Amino acid sequence: MMKRLFDIIVSLLGLILLSPLFLAVAVAIKRDSPGPVFFRQVRVGKDGRSFRIHKFRSMTVSKAHNSKEITVSGDARITRSGAWIRHWKLDELPQLIDVFLGDMSVVGPRPEVPRYVAVYPEDLRRIVLSVRPGITDLASIRFRHENDLLARASDPERAYREQILPEKLRLQSEYVRTRSFVGDLGIVIATFTALFKH
């Protein structure tokens, strides 16, 4: 109950206070390339229920590339404005909408696309999907430079599935087992520290 109340308050305040930034980012996106301001994608949420996540669009709209769900640094699809939007993680801010609607939480396991959830080990899938997915978590902090790591891999898709995803699931399942309100506050602070330190 406290976690949901925290999510509602933080998301509502965030949407109000950050509205000027939302407008500035939206203008930059529209001026940079044709297409919608938001990128919507199906993700898997609590108890395996699907929802469409909100993100600021940081790539060009191209049907030829829509099937690629792995993004690496230097990806040709990333727009000029998209590069700094992704650098400062501004593309994640619209997920405050998803938090307010109840599809997500401020802190929780990052929601994955169905194709990757399908390869989760059964025991970890049950644990990770037992809570609302979040905007940030320990795995997000640990793999803040995930795109750079994947760019150095000869096969980014394989590297993600065999190296990064298992470690993410380990951290996420540990979070679910030990989560607390104080722990969530610590993760929020650590997220901002990692962002601005970089």
CA distance 72 to 78: 10
For residue 129, the model assigns a pLDDT of 98
* Residues sharing a CB contact under 8 Å with residue 51, sequence separation 6 or more, in sequence order: 42, 43, 45, 98, 103, 104, 111
CA distance 68 to 72: 11
For residue 151, the model assigns a pLDDT of 87
Average pLDDT, the chain: 92
CA distance 71 to 44: 19
For residue 69, the model assigns a pLDDT of 67
Please tell me what DSSP assigns to residue 144.
Answer: T
- How many structural domains compose the chain? 1
For the cut 50, the answer to whether the pLDDT of residue 192 exceeds it is: yes
What average pLDDT does the segment 125-154 reach? 93
For residue 9, the model assigns a pLDDT of 97
The domain in which residue 60 lies consists of: 2-197
Least confident of 96-105, 134-143, 151-160: 151-160
